[in-house]
C-alpha cells in the first residue's frame, strides 16, 4: 500500500528529525515502502558535483577503487550522495521505474522515460547496488542503483537531438548559464573565474551573448590551453592566466584586461576553495558577484567583502533557474564549437 509523503521529502529524513532532506545527516533510502507522491528511477549514471569529485579524487590519490569505495561508504551512511567535506552532491540520469498514484496523469512522465534529475544528489534518496565504472576525468560514475524524486523535485526528459551523455554533461551545470543570462545586461563587463571548465564555458557563452558588442567578457584560467580554447570558441574577449586562490594576482591582471576598470559582474565557477576574494575584489561597488561554485564559503565571502569595504551584491548559486534546462541545452544547439568540445571532452 502506498502512503503519501511530504511534498518536500521530509518523510524520509531520519536524522535529525525536523530538518529538510538536504541538511539531514541521514535519510531513508529504502524502497520497501512506496509513497504515492514520489517517482522512483533506475539510475544509469551519477554526475558528481565538480567540487565534490575533485575532493574525492584528491583524498583517494586518483585511485578509482578508493573513489568507488568512498562513494559507497557515503551513500551507505547517509542514504544519499552528499560529500561530507564539500556538502555537495551532483545529479543523475535514469529511467522512470515507478510513478506514485497521486502523480499519475498529473506529470509529463511515463514509466520507461529517460530523465535527468535536476535536483541535487545531496537530498536525493539513493540506494546503490553496484558501481560499474568510474569516468575519472568527467566526474561521472556508472551505477546500478535506484533513486527517488520527490513531488517538489524537478527533472528534464532527455532530448532526442543529442546523446544522453552530452545532455547530462550540460544539464549537470544548467543553473550557471541560465542565471548568467538573467544577471548580465547589454554593455556589461563580466569576469568569469574557472572559465575553462564545463560551467565556465557555458557561462562565458551566455555572458558574451547578453553583454553584446559593447560589453566585455574576460576569462580567468590556469592554463594557456584553456585560454586558447575559449578564444577559438569566441566566447571571451580576453583571457588571463592566474590561480583563483591568489586574489591580488587576479585583481591586477583582470583590471589590466579591462582597461583598468572594475567589472559589473563576476561569476565564480571554480571547483576549489579559497577563491571568494578573487571574485569580489575586481567588481565595482554595486556590481554583482555570482558564486556558482559549491566550494564557496559564505563566511569568507561576507567577511572578506566587509573587510575590504566592497559594497557588492553577492548571489549564491542556485542550481535551479526557470527554464534552465532548455536554456543550457540550447547553448549546445546554437554553438557547434561548444557542442564539439563537450562531445570530445565530457562524454
Place of cell 535506484: 146
pTM of the model: 0.85
- How many Å is the Cα radius of gyration of the chain? 20
Strands (E), 61-199: 90-99, 114-117, 126-135, 140-149, 155-157, 189-193
What is the mean pLDDT of the segment spanning 96-119? 95
The predicted-structure confidence for 73-101, as pLDDT tens digits, reads as follows 999 999 999 999 999 999 999 999 999 99
Lowest-confidence segment of 57-66, 293-302, 327-336 by average pLDDT: 293-302
Nearest to 153 by CA among 6, 253, 16: 6
Strands (E), 21-166: 26-27, 39-48, 90-99, 114-117, 126-135, 140-149, 155-157
In the structure, what pLDDT confidence band is assigned to residue 48 with cuts at 50, 70 and 90? very high
Nearest to 150 by CA among 311, 9, 299: 9
Euclidean distance between CA atoms 106 and 114, whole angstroms: 18
Report the DSSP beta bridge partners of residue 147: 41, 126
CA atoms within 13 A on the CB side of 57: 18
Q: Assess whether pLDDT exceeds 80 at residue 144.
A: yes
| Mean confidence (pLDDT) of the chain | 95
Distance of CA 244 to the CA centre of its chain: 18
pLDDT at position 274 is 95
What is the mean pLDDT of the segment spanning 243-270? 97
What is the mean pLDDT of the segment spanning 116-133? 96
Domains with residue ranges and CATH for the chain: 10-158 (no CATH), 175-345 (3.40.50.720)
What is the mean pLDDT of the segment spanning 225-240? 98
The predicted-structure confidence for 275-325, as pLDDT tens digits, reads as follows 999 999 999 999 999 999 888 999 999 999 999 999 999 999 887 888 899
Amino acid at each position: 500500500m502506498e502512503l503519501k509523503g511530504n511534498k518536500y521529502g521530509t518523510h524520509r529524513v531520519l536524522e535529525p528529525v525536523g530538518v529538510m532532506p538536504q541538511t539531514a545527516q541521514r535519510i531513508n533510502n529504502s524502497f520497501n515502502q512506496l509513497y504515492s507522491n514520489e517517482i522512483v528511477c533506475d539510475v544509469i549514471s551519477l554526475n558528481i558535483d565538480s567540487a565534490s569529485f575533485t575532493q574525492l579524487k584528491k583524498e583517494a590519490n586518483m585511485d578509482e577503487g578508493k573513489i568507488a569505495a568512498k562513494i559507497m561508504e557515503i551513500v551507505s551512511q547517509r542514504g544519499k550522495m552528499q560529500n561530507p567535506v564539500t556538502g555537495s552532491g551532483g545529479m543523475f540520469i535514469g529511467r522512470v521505474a515507478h510513478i506514485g498514484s497521486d502523480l499519475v496523469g498529473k506529470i509529463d512522465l511515463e514509466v520507461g522515460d529517460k530523465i535527468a534529475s535536476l535536483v541535487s544528489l545531496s537530498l536525493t534518496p539513493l540506494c546503490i547496488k553496484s558501481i560499474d565504472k568510474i569516468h575519472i576525468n568527467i566526474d561521472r560514475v556508472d551505477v546500478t542503483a535506484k533513486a527517488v524524486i520527490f513531488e517538489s523535485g524537478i527533472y528534464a526528459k532527455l532530448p532526442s537531438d543529442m546523446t544522453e551523455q552530452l545532455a547530462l554533461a550540460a544539464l549537470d551545470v544548467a543553473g550557471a548559464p541560465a542565471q548568467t543570462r538573467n544577471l548580465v545586461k547589454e554593455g556589461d563587463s563580466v569576469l568569469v573565474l574557472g572559465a575553462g571548465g564545463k560551467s565556465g564555458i557555458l557561462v562565458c557563452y551566455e555572458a558574451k551573448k547578453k553583454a553584446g558588442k559593447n560589453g566585455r567578457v574576460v576569462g580567468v584560467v590556469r592554463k594557456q590551453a584553456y585560454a586558447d580554447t575559449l578564444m577559438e570558441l569566441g566566447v571571451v574577449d580576453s583571457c588571463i592566466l592566474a590561480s583563483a586562490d591568489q586574489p591580488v594576482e587576479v585583481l591586477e591582471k583582470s583590471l589590466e584586461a579591462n582597461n583598468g576598470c572594475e567589472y559589473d559582474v563576476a561569476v565564480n565557477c571554480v571547483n576549489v576553495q579559497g577563491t571568494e576574494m578573487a571574485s569580489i575584489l575586481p567588481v565595482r561597488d554595486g556590481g554583482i558577484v555570482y558564486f556558482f561554485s559549491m566550494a564557496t564559503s559564505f563566511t569568507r565571502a561576507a567577511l572578506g567583502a566587509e573587510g575590504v569595504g566592497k559594497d557588492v551584491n553577492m548571489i549564491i548559486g542556485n542550481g535551479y533557474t526557470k527554464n534552465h534546462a532548455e536554456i543550457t541545452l540550447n547553448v549546445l544547439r546554437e554553438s557547434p564549437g561548444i557542442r564539439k568540445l563537450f562531445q570530445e571532452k565530457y562524454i
